[in-house]
A and B are shown apart, each in its own frame.
Chain A
Amino acid sequence: MSENIISLKNISVSFDGEVILDKLNLDIKDGAFVTLLGPSGCGKTTTLRIIGGFQEPDSGDVFFGSERINDLPAHKRKLNTVFQRYALFPHLNVYENIAFGMRIQKKSESEIRAKVDEMLKLVSLEGFEKRRTSTLSGGQQQRVAIARALANDPRVLLLDEPLGALDLKLRQEMQVELKRIQSRLGITFVYVTHDQEEALSMSDTIVVMNHGVIQQIGSPIDIYNEPENGFVADFIGESNIVDGIMHADCDVEFCNTRFECVDTGFAKDEEVDVVIRPEDIVVVPKEESGLRGTVTSVTFKGVHYEMYVDVPGEEEEWIIQSTVAQEEGKEIGMTVDPENIHIMKKYTGDYASDIEFA
């Protein structure tokens, strides 16, 4: 579990003079479920294709275990891919699609049959052997693609937005199922998605990318609770991100109000980004806090209410999530516990427009 099975060292790729991956370094642990997460066009697919051997990096090294595999062609790598659009062979039925890799290895018919049966069972498609792939639903085609890739007994499975074309309910089912398959087989999954909820619910490790640069690597809990910069904070779930000034260790000012926080190590009066999760804001009577605003809208979201609050002097409205609804038009006070105030170095990009792509 602790050995690295894939390592990318200083990988750079440019297309038509545009830098797509910029000196990317990434270690993937054997047996882990690692997700590459980022807005569309940030270089996730390109990273996956480099691992799979379908794209050569301009510079940098790819390691499989301790072996450098830059020059190993795709068909000789001990990993398999579930492609974004499934890429099932239209001239072959389900059985033959799954058997494809084993036929090339010239395995015996009985061995192939046993493996195909096992794979069909794994993806719950027993009895579909003779079906043409064009007669299957999107979800079923996806399962065939997974079974086909796994039938080769890969050490690493690469999945490129495998659930992107499925509807919400099916996606959620497949998320659970993929996770189950991964833990049952104990192999490494490298999963690409732009859906942060999917990444949070499935992964052991999340790699957040933007513009070909890794923003943060960590467990879902780390990424969610301790985002390293405003981009990560904003991309992983909704956040309130405001300008602040660090007066001293554990002393931050934003919205013309001083707050106690737990962050240290910033320069005196350094300008920072302050990130506060909507669910971490506590609504209090307006007299009890210097941070006040007017509720502009209230929406019931099932478990909680989502409210937008207009804070004087702020460009964007604040988002609050709470189990208690407030009246629209009411002026409220807001407080935040010190440990829920996240202070970050200023992110120079524009995350609103970066995330727009996703």
Chain B
Amino acid sequence: MKKDSLIASPFMLWVLIFTIIPLGMVCWYAFTDASGAFTLANIETIGTYWVYLKDSLVMGAVATLLCLVLGYPVAYIMSRASWGAQQTMMMLLMLPQWMNFLLRTYSWMTILENNGLINTLLGKIGLGPFHMINTKGAIILGMVYNFLPYMILPIYSVMEKIHESLFEAARDLGANRFNTLLRVVMPLSLPGVITGITMVFVPSVSTFVISQMLGGGRNMLIGDVIERLFVGAAPNYNVGAALSLVLMVLILISMAIMKKFDDGEETGGLMM
């Protein structure tokens, strides 16, 4: 017991400095007005900003879904490849991540612009130009591009642990590739999928860099709104903190639903 608390105390200090105090400050700003008096008015402004919040949630969800659809097969192929091939694929996957996040996103601007790389190439064969930059599609593309590895990695790490003998057992019992995927790989990779969804959804919903660079300020997300309330021309820390709090609560709720889904599967297996 004593040993536990000894080990725990640096952790508690860490939590205090980096979690409790900042969170306390956010709450304090969210529930006070400029003079420091208690108020619910900040929270109530969410009505005004609801449209941005809704856009963020929808676009985050679409990006997460796309990451899942694109990432799942990649994770599967990676997990079944030879060890050497797995290392190479992992390397290729991580390589762009070592480049600066802003730089990576910025490069998409030059690709998608009206006179950017894609339209130039399409122009050569007499197509376009297409309007791609500063659209919701461009923002979603940016999210998918930046966060896809966070979908692939957790799914891969769960799949990689599925023992080869389970694949053989499934085949032995008459399952072809599709049936093995459906009845063995998918259920066993579910925890990785849940982690992946969380790891992509949370940063997608709260991003502001991607929407600013690829959305051109015309497709504001809740992250942009909050950022402006803190560093914009007319800062309002109180409303900004309130919106952050609401966003946080919404993310917590969606994570709780996901968790419930995961646990439900577990007990479902037990009950059947």
Residues of A at the B interface (CB closer than 8 Å) are 52-54, 73-76, 80-81, 83, 85, 87-93, 95-96, 100-101, 103-105, 130, 132, 148-149, 152
Contact = CB atoms under 8 A, between A and B. Distances in A.
A148 B173 contact: yes
A104 B163 CA distance: 21
B13 interface: no
Contacts of B172: 52, 54, 74-75, 80-81, 83, 149
Contacts of A148: 173
B171 A87 contact: no
Given A130-B270, A130-B272, A89 B184 contact: yes
B161 to A, nearest CB: 11
Interface residues of B, number: 21
Contacts of B188: 90-91
A89 B185 CA distance: 10
A72 to B, nearest CB: 12
A74 B165 CA distance: 13
Interface string B140-178: 000000000000000000000001011011111111100
A103 B170 CA distance: 11
Contact of B176 (A75, A91, A149): A75
Nearest to A76: B174
The secondary-structure label for the interface of chain B is helix
B183 interface: yes
A104 to B, nearest CB: 5
A3 to B, nearest CB: 24
B166 A87 contact: yes
Contacts of A83: 165, 168-169, 172
B47 interface: no
Nearest to A148: B173
B150 to A, nearest CB: 24
A89 B176 contact: no
Q: Which 3 A-B pairs rank lowest in CB-CB distance, beginning with the nearest?
A: A101-B173, A87-B165, A87-B169
A83 B187 CA distance: 21
A81 to B, nearest CB: 5
B269 interface: yes
A48 to B, nearest CB: 11
Contacts of A52: 172
Given A54-B172, A81-B168, A93-B269, 4 more contacts: A80-B173, A87-B166, A89-B169, A91-B269
Given A54-B168, A87-B168, A152 B270 contact: no
B271 interface: yes
B272 A95 contact: yes
B168 A75 contact: no
A280 to B, nearest CB: 44
A81 B171 CA distance: 10
Given A54-B168, A91-B187, A132 B270 contact: yes
B175 A104 contact: yes
B179 interface: yes
A75 B175 contact: yes
A73 B174 CA distance: 10
28 contacts: A53-B171, A54-B171, A73-B171, A74-B171, A75-B171, A75-B172, A75-B173, A81-B169, A83-B165, A83-B168, A87-B163, A87-B168, A88-B169, A89-B184, A91-B187, A91-B188, A91-B269, A92-B269, A93-B269, A93-B272, A95-B272, A100-B183, A104-B173, A104-B174, A104-B183, A130-B271, A132-B269, A152-B174
Given A104-B179, A130-B271, A152 B187 contact: no
Nearest to A84: B165
